[in-house]
Structure 1
Amino acid sequence: MSSDPRDQSSTDEATADHLEDRPESLGTRILRLLKDPETTGDLLLAVKAVIAATSAWALSVGVLGTDVAFMAPWTALLTVHATVHRSLSRGAQTAISTAVGMGLAFVIMHFLGVNIWTFALALFIGLMGARLSWIRDEGVAIATTAIFIFTSDDPMFADRFIELVLGVSVGIVVNMLVLPPLRDRQAARYVDSINRRMGAVLVDMAEEFSETWGMERADAWMEETESMSDELNSAWRMVKLARESRRENPRRLLRRKFYDKDHDIDYDQVLSHIDEGISHLRNLTRTMREATWAINSWDEQFREGWVRITCELGEAIADPDGDVAAQHERLDDLVTTMSRADELPHIQWPVYGSMLASLRHIIHIFSDVTSDRESRDPGDEATAD
């Protein structure tokens, strides 16, 4: 690590410029996109949906001998979701909603006949039934099933019901057997990304503060913290999905003998810590933004000490193996030095104190070993699940 943050900045900028001069090839971009966990997850889900629907159609035609095999592949397609638990839950809702739609169509067709008014009545009742809370996610299947039945030459309710059970069953089985996703490590990708971004902002602050800066830089830092908050929201959603993906998942059952609960990461706590860290970084940004016009000159001893600590803190946060806690002592030394300065009453100590306090809070948050190391895994393992 360079002792002078400006030298390190020059090296990083030269490297970035060198990379920008070499355009990324189409093959490289496609490969990077395919390695992205979200892309691979979407592709896998699409493949499983195709397998489920095709298998249900083949069984309906080849085994049941159905002439118009639409119910089985359709319900199989509706049953395949991002997690096994969601497939079971949505599959049950699909089965209930479809069965209700078939019953609704049977009653209306039997007693009122088939015409434009009974068709509209079936749709209206189906859509109102879709608002029931316990089938809300798949309740629209009531109306769509009624459409299928009304437009069929021969409804054959018994056969349609068998196809319904077949389609839901195939969808659940395929989702359970074909690489059911365990998204535990994808949350680590978000944690690592946010930590690296926070570290980069701190390093940039140090480099700018070592000389001078303007409102534009402070505004850019503020926008970056807002962007971090948006990414943190995505991380929260991924954690919830990861928690759901572990439920009723056969891959987790097979791994159980290798699974050590003592090493299970509490991502709720980790993300809460990161959220707090972003808040303190945003507060530091506001302080420095106000200081651009409130302070004409800075105490050089404070400037040099703050720049060194902030730069090294940013690098430590960005690096999963960085030692954030080492900055505690350096910050304490700076605080002690400044508190003993004879000219302390004559300098802008409220602003200085706010900048030091924000650093102290950030150091305390990211000194936590769990949030800085075990919960961060940006390597290939993060994309495997």
Structure 2
Amino acid sequence: MTAYLRRRFHIVARALAWEAHAIWRSIRLAATEPGAERDTAVQSLKAAGAALLSWAVAGWWWDAPMALMAPWTALFLMQNSVYRSLLSALQQFTVVVLGTLLAAAAGVLTHHTMAAMALALPLTVLLGSYARFGTQGFAAPTAALFVLAYGSYTSADIAHRFLETLLGAAIGISMNALVLPPVHARRLLHLHRQLSLSSAELLHTVADGLADGYTEKEAQGWFDSARRLSDVTAGLREARRWSDESNRVNPGLRLRRRVEPAPPPTEWDLVWAGVTEHLSSVIRMLSDPAEGLSLGPDQTKALGTLLRAAGDACRLGTSSTQPTSRRPRDGHAHRDFRRSLARASAAHRRLTAACAWRRRASALAAGGLLTDTRRLLTALLTAMDTDALAPRSATPLSEQYAGG
């Protein structure tokens, strides 16, 4: 029994030590460099400041009877974007009004606190679960509890409650909009760069495996890595949503130093999601014996060259997410991008020629491989036009592909 308790103590101690280390790391990062930790610290301080200011106005200066409503509202309106603060303010004020009126009606009808709670709380909890109210729905039963617990449901009390809610909302929104308004672009830039680099690394790994000879287990590991790229694209969509939302109705955006570099356009996300999808299809052909793909030395060499050149092109796709001081000149990056795709295109033609005389039994698998690799290169050509590496090209996509 003593040995068991000792082991449990060591497990708990290690867990607490790990948690303490994680907390200290977050504090250090918040103090030393920009990032999610600093953003969280800033928003927390702003929420506390908005609540204190609301209390100073409503409780200290006005000496309002329901002063708690002002800091309570301001505290919960410090959202991750100005647009979200405005939306939450509208939702919260609506549910506070409805919860207060329901509680007041229940109090007038019953003249008994317990009976009024039994009547009002089920209705307000149900009201708070309405999807249109989002996370602010909890304010409906909370407002009802405040009304009934304090027994304050006269017309003057209700008017004070609404006025103080509006005061807290105004202070919370103003604080979020004018004091370091949140702009979410770092994660978007990070995922852009991660998607390009991870695709490039995977393509180079597969090319090396083709050159050195690979096992079925290695090919399955490549396919697992390709499928994990879909998690990055899913995170990219979420980060794009937050970035776009943080730029909406943000009056303080022009006052802040702009994020350097600016994120690529939305089309970038769609194009590179296609790149990863076609990359996954190519690797599935190599990893699944059921596909019936059998490559000879010439096909293997041509495919390896194609994938390596495609990986070089993917790596160049990270240039648009680097700061201007570290970014290659646009003309040079564009030229290198085209050269990589020209090598890949030439390798695809050699692969097509090498597969032309395949036996009928494997012709279908070879045709699928040629189609998937062609789609991969076409998606990369589209990425070249979409990426900030180069201006929009007026050359038709089919002519770009045929060109060397």
TM-score by length of 2: 0.74
The superposition leaves residues 103-162 of structure 1 with CA deviations (integer Å, 9 ceiling, x where unpaired) of 222222122123323212111111232244543442331111011122226564343233
Residue 250 of structure 1 is matched in structure 2 by 251
Residue 399 of structure 2 is matched in structure 1 by none
Instruction: Tell me whether 209-218 or 340-349 shows the greater mean CA deviation.
Output: 340-349
Task: Give 2:380's aligned amino acid.
Answer: F
Alignment of 1:138-217 (within 5 A): 138-152=136-150, 156-184=157-185, 186-217=187-218
CA RMSD of aligned residues (A): 3.4
Paired with 1:241 and 1:146, the residues of 2 have a C-alpha distance of: 33
Paired with 1:159 and 1:28, the residues of 2 have a C-alpha distance of: 43
Paired with 2:51 and 2:24, the residues of 1 have a C-alpha distance of: 33
Q: Does structure 1 conserve the Cα–Cα contact (< 8 Å) formed by 2:59 and 2:67?
A: yes
The alignment status of 1:345 with 2:358, answered yes or no, reads: yes
Q: Pick from 108, 111, 117 the counterpart of residue 109 of structure 2.
A: 111
Paired with 2:59 and 2:208, the residues of 1 have a C-alpha distance of: 69
Q: Does structure 1 conserve the Cα–Cα contact (< 8 Å) formed by 2:196 and 2:314?
A: yes
Residue 310 of structure 2 is matched in structure 1 by 313
Task: Give 1:315's aligned amino acid.
Answer: D
Paired with 1:27 and 1:102, the residues of 2 have a C-alpha distance of: 40
Paired with 2:223 and 2:25, the residues of 1 have a C-alpha distance of: 30
Alignment of 1:88-99 (within 5 A): 88-99=86-97
Paired with 1:68 and 1:88, the residues of 2 have a C-alpha distance of: 23
Instruction: Tell me whether 82-91 or 302-311 shows the greater mean CA deviation.
Output: 302-311
Residue 372 of structure 2 is matched in structure 1 by 358
Asked which structure has the greater RCO (Cα within 8 Å, sep 6+), the reply is 1
Residue 397 of structure 2 is matched in structure 1 by none
Deviation at 1:275, TM superposition (A): 1.5
Residue 297 of structure 2 is matched in structure 1 by 300
Paired residue secondary structure (1:179): coil
Q: Which runs of 5+ in 2 are unaligned?
A: 1-20, 320-332, 391-404
Alignment size in residue pairs:
345
Shift in alpha-carbon separation, 1:172–1:363, aligned structure 2, 3 A: same
Instruction: Tell me whether 188-197 or 107-116 shows the greater mean CA deviation.
Output: 107-116
Instruction: Tell me whether 147-156 or 216-225 shows the greater mean CA deviation.
Output: 147-156
Instruction: Tell me whether 163-172 or 66-75 shows the greater mean CA deviation.
Output: 66-75
Paired residue secondary structure (2:358): helix
Task: Please identify runs of 4+ aligned residues in structure 1 that moved more than 6 A.
Answer: 25-28
Residue 343 of structure 2 is matched in structure 1 by 330
The alignment status of 1:281 with 2:296, answered yes or no, reads: no
Q: Does structure 1 conserve the Cα–Cα contact (< 8 Å) formed by 2:181 and 2:253?
A: no
Q: Which runs of 5+ in 1 are unaligned?
A: 1-24, 376-385
Shift in alpha-carbon separation, 1:281–1:29, aligned structure 2, 3 A: farther
Paired with 2:34 and 2:232, the residues of 1 have a C-alpha distance of: 15
Paired with 2:282 and 2:353, the residues of 1 have a C-alpha distance of: 24
Paired with 1:303 and 1:147, the residues of 2 have a C-alpha distance of: 72
Paired with 1:366 and 1:301, the residues of 2 have a C-alpha distance of: 24
Paired with 1:343 and 1:122, the residues of 2 have a C-alpha distance of: 77
Residue 80 of structure 2 is matched in structure 1 by 82
- Aligned identity (percent) is 22
Paired with 2:131 and 2:351, the residues of 1 have a C-alpha distance of: 62
Paired with 2:312 and 2:305, the residues of 1 have a C-alpha distance of: 11
Shift in alpha-carbon separation, 1:181–1:144, aligned structure 2, 3 A: same
Paired with 1:36 and 1:213, the residues of 2 have a C-alpha distance of: 43
Shift in alpha-carbon separation, 1:27–1:199, aligned structure 2, 3 A: farther
Deviation at 1:42, TM superposition (A): 2.8
